[in-house]
Amino acid sequence: MIGFFWLLSSIFAGAAFDRLTATILVFVFEVIVNYVMILAAFSMSPSALVRLFTALIAGGVLISMAANGQRRWWQHNFSFFGNRPR
């Protein structure tokens, strides 16, 4: 969801809504998300849950890489893998 809204804010830079329109949009979005979550909860199996968590982790990594503003962020972050503070 964060990636989706980041993409929308990048596409529609500077767009603004009044309070009523924003409230209605948030309400409609929440109704849709809650409905999908209820349907997903009824059809969830352990193997589907593992696939969902795997996709969530991979998607989060990809979105965080795309949204990062630093050019060489990976050189700094990957250099600390495996290092424990002493």
- Is this structure's pTM higher than 0.75? no
Tell me how far apart the alpha carbons of residues 11 and 6 are, in angstroms, rounded to a whole number. Answer: 9
pLDDT, tens digit (0-9, with 9 covering 90-100), for 17-74: 889 988 998 899 899 999 999 998 888 898 988 998 999 998 887 887 777 777 776 6
Residue 86: which pLDDT band, with cuts at 50, 70 and 90?
A: low
Of 61, 60, 69, 67, the residue nearest 1 (C-alpha) = 60
pLDDT at 51 (0 to 100): 92
Per the structure block, which two tokens stand in for 55? Answer: 């996709």
**pLDDT recorded at residue 78:** 62
